[in-house]
């Protein structure tokens, strides 16, 4: 059992009101059915378009909004779309068709609480909702595996300073580059904030960096972290 699954089981099974946003009516129907199976999660509304979803969230004020990335990113500024969904203190679980690292980073920076890979949607949606409703973060197991594999691969043939980083230190550095705080990194990796600080101290020492921003700059310069695409 993953750390996220264990944490989800530890979260009190309080009722959670959910609004679902997905352009596919069939997906919405399946989600509604799977979330009405005695698990305390109740779908109180659904929408197939972004504007209607924002209005629905404003009226229903759900604890969690489960929304397709295709719906939230269709012709609307991503940050504004997320802001519209969280204005009533709702938490957002984003459902993505692809394991898109850029989308994950953008979502986390804008305050999205959950990232679920669509092929794992029906296996992961309940723990994702439970964790996000309780103020935690959920990231699909497939995405976590992808990030770890990419980081491990990136350590081959890079500058000797970067090569000296452990896998966990590399994970922390990659998350620092997305703009997350120590507390947010700790939440995502399932470790303590003090442990994150210890990892950062070792990262700065190994990279001979003055601060976390300097460390990220070094990682970009050496190609360990790819620059964000624009346009």
Residue 28: is its pLDDT beyond 60?
yes
Q: What is the pLDDT of residue 153?
A: 59
Q: Residue 116 in contact with residue 93, Cβ under 8 Å? A: yes
Q: 94 with 220: CB under 8 angstroms?
A: no
pLDDT at 230 over 50: no
Domains located in the chain, CATH noted: 3-140 (3.40.50.2300), 155-221 (1.10.10.10)
Q: What is the pLDDT of residues 159-212, one digit of tens each?
A: 566 668 888 898 898 888 877 889 889 988 889 999 999 999 999 988 888 888
Question: For the ranges 16-20, 46-50, 117-121, which has the lowest average pLDDT?
Answer: 46-50
Tell me which of 163 and 133 has the higher pLDDT.
133
Helix (DSSP H) and strand (DSSP E) numbers for the chain? 13, 6
> What pLDDT is recorded for position 227?
53
Is residue 86 within 8 Å of residue 54, measured between CB atoms?
no
Higher pLDDT, 158 or 69: 69
As a whole number of angstroms, the distance between CA 197 and CA 12 comes to 29
CB atoms under 10 Å from CB of 102, counted, come to 11
CA distance 168 to 57: 38
* Percentage of residues in the chain having pLDDT higher than 70: 81
Cα dihedral 215, 193, 132, 177, rounded to 10, equals 0
Q: Which two tokens stand for residue 194?
A: 């003090």
Q: What is the mean pLDDT of residues 53-66?
A: 93
Instruction: Return the structure tokens found at 42.
Output: 């109740």
Query: Is 138 a residue whose pLDDT tops 50?
Result: yes
């Amino acid at each position: 059992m993953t750390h996220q699954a264990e944490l989800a089981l530890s979260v009190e099974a309080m009722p959670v009101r959910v609004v679902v946003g997905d352009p596919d009516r069939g997906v919405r129907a399946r989600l509604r059915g799977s979330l009405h199976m005695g698990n305390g999660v109740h779908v109180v509304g659904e929408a197939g378009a972004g504007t209607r979803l924002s209005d629905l969230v404003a009226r229903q004020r759900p604890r969690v909004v489960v929304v397709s990335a295709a719906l939230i990113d269709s012709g609307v500024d991503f940050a504004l779309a997320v802001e519209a969904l969280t204005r009533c203190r709702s938490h957002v679980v984003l459902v993505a068709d692809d394991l898109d690292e850029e989308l994950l980073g953008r979502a986390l920076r804008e305050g999205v609480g959950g990232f679920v890979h669509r092929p794992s949607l029906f296996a992961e949606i309940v723990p994702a909702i439970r964790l996000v409703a309780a103020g935690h973060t959920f990231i699909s197991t497939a995405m976590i595996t992808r990030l770890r594999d990419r980081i491990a691969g990136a350590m081959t043939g890079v500058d000797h300073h970067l090569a000296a980083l452990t896998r966990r230190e590399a994970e922390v550095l990659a998350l620092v580059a997305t703009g997350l705080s120590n507390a947010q990194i700790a939440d995502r990796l399932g470790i303590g904030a003090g442990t994150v600080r210890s990892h950062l101290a070792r990262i700065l020492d190994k990279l001979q960096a003055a601060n976390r921003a300097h460390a990220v700059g070094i990682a970009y310069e050496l190609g360990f972290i790819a620059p964000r695409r624009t346009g």
